[in-house]
Amino acid sequence: MRITFVTGNAGKLREVRQILGASNIEVDSQELDIPEVQGSTREVATAKCRRAAELLGGPCITEDTALCFEALHGLPGPYIKYFLKELGHDGLNKLLVGFDTNAAWALCTFAYSAGPGHEPILFEGRTDGRIVPARGDGRFGWDPCFEAENTGKTYAEMQPEEKNKISHRGRALEKLEQYLRNLPTSS
């Protein structure tokens, strides 16, 4: 099976290919200019996938990722890339100064559409953890400041295989992969 992942993020594409690599699902990618609606992760993922399927004229997957701080009632959530761009890793930590918890969760929502006119189906994965001062390789988003629960390591300190087994993205992709494997094949 071959599927188009609509993304311009090379790090996300790399992880998706690593995670789905053992299956028979080949992942192509295409970057499309799709405005992001404001709303919950589910609303953002649904709207993005619906529009991508229209532009591509066929099946596709999209992804939306959120980093949610317990002290901030789930914010920055789906707006994390804007917070990270403006504040950096250090600034994410400073957002929690004065709060009694640094607990957080990483949330990934993949959306699949069979094509134009088909309502997207959502697949979510969540990993609990906490926000910590940046540690490890700082090349991929907020990985250096998210320490996954019961690991003692940030995502950036983990080997790809270790991260993919416990990550929010890996958990969402596991559900998506199972769904895609059960789709009827066209003759």
Known binding-site residue numbers for Mg(2+): 36, 64
> Which two tokens mark 123?
């697949």
d(CA 167, CA 69): 16
Annotated binding-site ranges: 7-12, 36, 48, 64-65, 140-143, 163, 168-169
Q: Are 20 and 28 in contact (CB under 8 A)?
A: no
Residue numbering of the annotated binding site for ITP: 7-12, 48, 64-65, 140-143, 163, 168-169
